[in-house]
Structure 1
């Protein structure tokens, strides 16, 4: 009985796979033609190759790589054993965890963006004279702000018996004259009800009133402040303002009460005048 043989193009069309893919499978050794004409170079396939291609497709669909499929075929098996299937199930579960976390992060980013867009971006406020507990330090990077607040400033203010304002107004002022991703010279200030005796960590002082401050809400981690700064300074330029004092970054929600950096809320305040 003569067995039907198909040229590579016919085989490609019937099996709905490209010739390029078939040549790749041949090079890898997982699906070789049953015959190659020595004169024309034509490649021929028969029923056994159709069945083998079906096996390749099934194995790819359940997560086996081409290298893994080749190893199975070299071992004389077209079907993985139970241990190999269990391993793939475990890999799927790990991938699922990653994908679910990625989906959660994407939803949070959408929520943050919607929240940001729903807020009034800019506002003009006057800032009264206040008393603050101040701590100035050169920190490793911007991400170290949270650690400094939680583990250095907070415990020292508690030790000194500081009474903070009901509004919980706190902010930072940067003293670097240029951007530095590391060794950031930053001053943290928190409003207090009374001036106490200075310590090695905390100094008390009065911050003068600011007649006009342009304020912008920033939602997200601190390493994206540059996006809000860009928007802020564009607005200042368009409205004909000029900056007349130190920029403040006010921290409303952060690592101390919100684990997700995408939900951190800060307010940038810039003293301005026309």
Structure 2
């Protein structure tokens, strides 16, 4: 048997942490002296504690670790599935850190060259274009921000099935129209749509007309910068919103290996502002 101090020293875990683990039922002392309350751990528990430490190093929460230890399934199978999922999470975090590091390096370089940290906004191009009327096969619904990726997959899968089943002709890439000015407790009023040649049940005509257009190469995280640039351009040139902002996904996000391969067109339908100047009599 090992005292709590010996057990703590071997596993590099404080006695305070071991007491907390006992409180939450993660790992209990093998024996507690009823006279003085001293806690003792068995030699066999060393491996359990090292296993806990290993999962913690992979960013498993204590709740996740406890669930694995208490699982009645084959522990090796349970651990394999849990590690596989955690690996995907860490890989995603690494990608995010790499992207942040690249952005950080670019900002440092700009500052060294005497440029503003926001000078990247200068590279965002805005065009004024006329977009012709089109027929949209669509699904419109309220979507919460955290559900968007799943709704994107589900809605477009349904739309593509409809196109295949009815032998419709797709004439442009998938697009999403945002009809809400802001998020509400019910989510964002979102329309998933595919332009088609035929006018059929479940489709509608859409007249974008005059639009500000920007082509974004790379991560969707840069969309906010595009939105801001388009609003700045519209304000400066005397335009205002006339219809729902929409994004056209030139490349399918599920078909690219890295974010840098993404191509997205952002359209902001606009009209000239009406002058409110009146001549006093």
**Aligning the two structures, in what range does the TM-score lie when normalised by the shorter sequence?**
0.5 to 0.7
- Does 1:175 find its partner at 2:166? no
Instruction: Name the SS of the counterpart of 1:236 in structure 2.
Output: helix
Instruction: Name the SS of the counterpart of 2:168 in structure 1.
Output: coil
Residue number in structure 1 paired with 2:216:
217
Measured in 2, the distance between the counterparts of 1:188 and 1:100 equals 31
Matches within 5 A, 1:104-253: 104-110=95-101, 120-142=123-145, 143=148, 145-165=151-171, 168-176=172-180, 178-192=182-196, 194-196=197-199, 198-199=200-201, 202-205=202-205, 207=207, 209-210=209-210, 212-215=211-214, 217=216, 220=219, 228-237=226-235, 239-246=236-243, 247-253=245-251
Instruction: Name the SS of the counterpart of 1:155 in structure 2.
Output: helix
Gaps of 5+ in 1: 1-29, 31-51
Alpha carbons 1:123, 1:214 under 8 Å: kept: yes
1:271 to 264, 269, 272: 269
Matches within 5 A, 1:87-102: 87-93=49-55, 95-96=57-58, 100-101=90-91, 102=93
- RMSD after superposition: 4.4
Alpha carbons 2:212, 2:267 under 8 Å: kept: yes
Question: Residue 140 of structure 1: CA displacement?
Answer: 3.5
Alpha carbons 2:143, 2:190 under 8 Å: kept: no
Instruction: Name the SS of the counterpart of 2:153 in structure 1.
Output: helix
Residue number in structure 2 paired with 1:67:
16
- Structure showing greater radius of gyration is 1
Instruction: Name the SS of the counterpart of 2:212 in structure 1.
Output: strand
Residue number in structure 2 paired with 1:84:
46
Q: For residues 153-198 of structure 1, what are the alpha-carbon distances to aligned partners after superposition, in whole Å with 9 as ceiling and x for unaligned? A: 2211221212223xx4332323336542525333333233x224x1
Measured in 2, the distance between the counterparts of 1:63 and 1:146 equals 46
- TM norm structure 2: 0.53
- Relative distance call for 1:262 and 1:69 in structure 2 (3 A) is farther
- Relative distance call for 1:111 and 1:92 in structure 2 (3 A) is same
Instruction: Name the SS of the counterpart of 1:122 in structure 2.
Output: coil
Larger mean Cα displacement after TM superposition, 154-163 or 131-140: 131-140
Alpha carbons 1:63, 1:88 under 8 Å: kept: no
Aligned residues: 207
Gaps of 5+ in 2: 20-28, 33-37, 59-85, 107-119, 273-281
Measured in 2, the distance between the counterparts of 1:123 and 1:186 equals 24
Which protein has greater RCO, CA pairs closer than 8 Å, 6+ apart? 1
Alpha carbons 1:131, 1:195 under 8 Å: kept: no
- TM norm structure 1: 0.55
